[in-house]
Amino acid sequence: MKNKKIGLIGILAIGLVTSCKMQQAGDLVKQNFDFASEQLTYALQEIESAKANDDRDSLSKAEKPLVSPRTLDENGKLKLVVSRDWTSGFFPGELWYMYEYTKDPKWEEQARAFTANLEVQKYTKSTHDLGFMMYCSFGNGLRLTNDESYKPILLEAANSLISRYKPNARIIRSWDHNRDKWQCPVIIDNMMNLELLFWATKESGDSTYYNIAVNHANTTIKNHFREDYGTYHVVDYDTITGEVLNRHTHQGYAHESTWARGEAWALYGYTMCYRETKDNTYLDQAHHIADFIFSHPNLPLDLIPYWDFNAPEIPNEPRDVSAAAIIASALYELSTFGGEKAAQYKEQADTIVHNLTLQYRATLNEDGGFLLLHSTGSKPSKSEVDVPLVYADYYFLEALLRKKKNE
């Protein structure tokens, strides 16, 4: 994988963006999708090779087949995951985005194949990540093809998700692990899974899903944000009283720091909640979160954030390209809702996308077939630091599609 001097090029990228903006937006979108078409074709070959080299025993292969790419391991080898992994839905989603842009049936065929691998997860009640897993895959497939067979799968997934709802605390439980540390942990990431519930109410006419989504969003506003609209990663609840027991981090630098991807999830989540409810509380929250991000003194000039806004060795800290891609996609949508900062949001999203294209993109037919480099999964755990991550690629393609629609 290429080793880039991000600190220096981040400054140079600002100047390059000016010339890049001379291109029409469609040119940049086309250039990236042309690149993605070749790179994802290469990725499909790499996936088959990785499956062929799976050295697990035959029973493990049969019971838990590898289905989707997630990242590169410490040796630069492609890492595939089973369908139960929280990232399993992003690669099928990328393929659906390729089909959306190109209308090429080969991408629909691949998208359907990778999506089908996840159907078994519709019954899974041990995770909050069903939105990521099922809505990014089956949800995009339904949106683009109106395949009626996808609807009951998504509704079953929504039922599994709401089984984790705690009515006294008015939240959906996130994790079941670390029970010695937390009674009922809720992570800011969970905002992203609410879109599945909003869809379920529209499809079924049952307001239960909608009400649970709104309750979770409102409780998260109340308890996950500091006065400056920075976010806590993990809030632990007493499920009987609804009381907050503690506010922690798990993937950020410290309990009182702001983990960059968590802030990105918050921006995207409340922008989506406004779209689905038209409740100005959520729109205001999204504006406040955007203000936090773009007024923060530790945000680099190229707008690609460090992995934590308060990481102690800035500027010598890893970036998180996945956070940047999520932010850009959210901003494109947020800009469509009007207001005095609409043009600014679009400009900021454009800058992020241009800089990702110019300085953070992978090498064609290398890097495991991923599109973007320099994401950070969990630096405290020394896991997935400065690597490509599948969800960075997913939200990058989504941002490009939204950019095209917004021009």
Task: Please identify every residue annotated as catalytic.
Answer: 129, 189
Torsion 179-180-184-188 (CA) sign: negative
Amino acid, single-letter form, for residue 261:
R
> Under a CB-based contact definition with an 8 Å cutoff, are residues 393 and 71 in contact?
no
Whats the size of the chain, residue-wise?
407
How far is residue 138's CA from residue 89's CA, in Å, rounded to a whole number? 8
Cis peptide bond upstream of 315, omega within 30: yes
Q: Which of 114, 71, 70 has the alpha carbon at shortest distance from 92?
A: 114
Q: Which residues 6+ apart lie within 8 Å of 313 measured at CB?
A: none
Q: Which of 286, 293, 167, 189 has the alpha carbon at shortest distance from 235?
A: 189
Distances (CA, A) of 355 to 6, 157, 276, 317, 358: 11, 36, 30, 18, 5
**Tokens 């991807």, residue?**
261
